[in-house]
Amino acid sequence: MKGDKIIIALDAGKFAIQTTAVAGVVEVEKLPFLPGRAGFVTGIISFRNEPVAVVDLAMALGDFSPAERSTHKVIVLRDKGRTLGMDIGEAALSFLWDEEIGGKTTDEKGLFTSGRIYAKDSTIEIIDWPALFNETSRMLTTEENVKKSPNS
Amino acid sequence: MNIRIPIGYKFILGFIAVVAAAAFVPGLVEKLDVAEWMKQPLSFLIAILVGLILGSFFIRNFTRDFNRITSVARRISKGDLTDAEKLDSDSQTRLIKDEIGDLAQAVALMSESLKTLVEQIKSTVSDLTDAQESFSSVVSRGHETSKEVISGTSAIFDGALEQANHVGDASSTVKAMAELADEVAGKVTESANASQKVNTMVQRGAMAATSAMEKMETIFNGIENTESAAIRLKEKLGDIPKILDVITHISRQTDLLALNATIEASKAGEHGRGFAMVAEEVRRFADNTNNSVEDVSFIVKELRVEVERVVASASEGTANLKGGRDDLRKIREILVDITNYTSEVAEKASIILGLTHKQKEKAGKTVEIIEQVAHIAKENLSSTERVESAVERHGTAINETITAAEKLSELSKELKAVVARFSL
């Protein structure tokens, strides 16, 4: 759990993700429709001429309350050639440098969270981005299989 | 030819005759042929007889006249004056006169005088009765007249009193009118001064209003210019959001670039810390820009609302300009009329002031005259009181005169009755 982190301030709380997993942050006004999308997969964007599937982070973390958003801030994750966009809406972003992380960091796991940072003034959940990758891949793969073999 | 022998002499002659008879009787008796012892008593008896005869003659002579006089006097005393003349005629016919004859003449003369007096008294009583009746009639008429005079005087007194009261009331009223005229004069003076001041103030006000209207005309022009300026400002303000959108877009892109730069610097580890710090500063700058843009956007929104209000107000003001100009023109005309009327009012107030002063002088003179009249009325009242008192005294005197006339009438009647007792 070492390394600098980007802190995402959602309505449900603060969440952290390692900067090493982040390829970049873009902002789009509308998310183009992704055919076969399901669950918290909300659309697709183009990041450096590469299509990136986008998931709604709040929805992925269990907040299904509808929210009107004029802009969509998308954090693009890259892992071993795979990319995934996390739509955080208009949530504010900040940095938490590694040397600034005080307090206690635990391995308490949750839905798509792999640990917890007990900072001085708040508690920050660490996003389990590989699990998010896997679940997204699973959902997209399952949908594709369903479309390919409608009788199965 | 009458011989006058006083009564004393007659008495002496009688005494002498008695004495002579007494002296001659004894000699005569001596010559008679009677007894001696009878001569002395006979002489005595003859002497007494002669004396009685002579005495009786004299007494009868004396008493006869006295009785007649006494009888006449008694009849006179009873008012019978008819026999008195006989006493005088008898005394005139006597040969020998004495005091009795004088007494009879005196009684006859007294009776004659009394008769004349009674006749005069009768005549006087008759005249007195007529005069008393006339007097009573006159007094009665005087009494009636006195009553009428008293009634008239009382009416005059009442009239004089009422007149004095009326004059007093008139005096009070005229004094009040004079005081009122004085007060009116004071008020009219104040009014004239006030109207003069009003005239001056209206002149100043007219000048100020004219100046204000010229300035209002300038303001109207300014309002029209303001409307066009506000419309232009509104148009310019409509461009500001577009610029702000551009700035917002740039600042967001800058924020993202700085964010990505920070991420990349983070990946560089310790070597990228300085760059990360710079990128972070750029983010903060972008955030500040964003915040400022939001502030400016908010201000611009408020400004647009205000400008729209200004435009609406200016449009409304411009729409009202025509009416305002018409009103200004009317106000200018009304001001001219007010100025003219105020000047006229001031002139008339001056005229009224002069007339009021004259009225005040006349009222003062009227008060003096009324006071003189009141004084005369008081004197008349006092004189009437005196006249009434005199008339009342006159009435009392008339009453006393009536009483006296009645007494006089009674006395006249009594006198008439007394005189009627006399037979002439």
Region label for A97, one of left (φ > 0), alpha (ψ between -120 and 50) or beta (otherwise): beta
Whether residue A95 contacts residue B262, with contact meaning beta carbons closer than 8 Å, is answered with yes
Provide CB contacts within 8 A for B296, sequence distance 6+.
B240, B244
A150: in domain = no
Beta bridge partners of A117: A105, A124
The pLDDT of residue B24 is 83
Using a CB-CB cut-off of 8 Å, the residues of chain A touching B276 are 95
On the question of pLDDT at A113 being above 50, the answer is yes
Residue A95 near chain B (CB below 8 Å): yes
In the predicted model, what is the mean pLDDT of residues B142-171? 80
A152: in domain = no
In the predicted model, what is the mean pLDDT of residues A56-74? 83
Contact A95 B276 (CB under 8 A): yes
Helix H, strand E, coil C: the string for A114-131 is EEEEECCCCEEEEECHHH
* ipTM of model: 0.85
Using a CB-CB cut-off of 8 Å, the residues of chain A touching B260 are 24-25
B343-383 pLDDT, tens digit each: 888 888 888 888 888 888 888 888 888 888 888 888 888 88
A54: in domain = yes
A109: in domain = yes
In the predicted model, what is the mean pLDDT of residues A105-130? 88
Q: Would you mind telling me the total number of residues written for chain B in this entry?
A: 424
On the question of pLDDT at A69 being above 80, the answer is no
Task: Name the average pLDDT for chain B.
Answer: 83
A19: in domain = yes
Residue with tokens 């007990």: A118
Both structure tokens of A135: 């679940």
Sorting pLDDT into bands at 50, 70 and 90, what band is B305?
A: confident
In the predicted model, what is the mean pLDDT of residues B149-176? 80
Contact A19 B259 (CB under 8 A): no
With vertex at residue B400, the alpha carbon angle to CA B398 and CA B402, rounded to the nearest 5 degrees, is 70
* Sign of the four-CA dihedral B125, B130, B132, B133: positive
On the question of pLDDT at B201 being above 70, the answer is yes
Whether residue A89 contacts residue A63, with contact meaning beta carbons closer than 8 Å, is answered with no
In the predicted model, what is the mean pLDDT of residues B131-138? 82
Contact B267 A93 (CB under 8 A): no
The pLDDT of residue B245 is 87
Considering its fold, how many domains does chain A have in total?
1
B116-125 pLDDT, tens digit each: 888 888 888 8
Whether residue B57 contacts residue B11, with contact meaning beta carbons closer than 8 Å, is answered with no
Q: Residue A47 sits in which domain range?
A: 5-145
A104: in domain = yes
In the predicted model, what is the mean pLDDT of residues B285-294? 87
**For residue A99, what is the nearest residue in chain B, using CA coordinates?**
B270
Provide CB contacts within 8 A for A48, sequence distance 6+.
A24
The pLDDT of residue A152 is 41
The pLDDT of residue B119 is 84
Whether residue B150 contacts residue B343, with contact meaning beta carbons closer than 8 Å, is answered with no
The pLDDT of residue A146 is 61
> CA dist B141 to B57, B129, B403, Å?
71, 18, 14
The pLDDT of residue A25 is 94
Under 8 Å CB pairs connecting chains A and B tally to 27
| CA–CA gap between residue B352 and residue B196 (Å, rounded) | 13
A151: in domain = no
Whether residue B72 contacts residue B111, with contact meaning beta carbons closer than 8 Å, is answered with yes
Q: Which of B24, B16, B101, B26 is nearest to B55 (CA)?
A: B16
Under DSSP, the state recorded for A31 is: P
On the question of pLDDT at A127 being above 90, the answer is yes
The shortest C-alpha distance from B305 to chain A (Å) reads 25
Buried b (16+ CB within 10 A) or exposed e, A86-108: bbbbebebebbeeeebeeebeee
Percent of chain B with pLDDT over 70: 100
Sorting pLDDT into bands at 50, 70 and 90, what band is A126?
A: very high
Q: In this structure, what CATH number is given to the domain that contains residue A95? A: 2.40.50.180
Both structure tokens of B349: 């107030």
Sorting pLDDT into bands at 50, 70 and 90, what band is B23?
A: confident
The pLDDT of residue B43 is 83
A45: in domain = yes
Whether residue B263 contacts residue A6, with contact meaning beta carbons closer than 8 Å, is answered with yes
The pLDDT of residue A9 is 93
In the predicted model, what is the mean pLDDT of residues B31-48? 83
A34 or B30, greater pLDDT: B30
Sorting pLDDT into bands at 50, 70 and 90, what band is A14?
A: very high
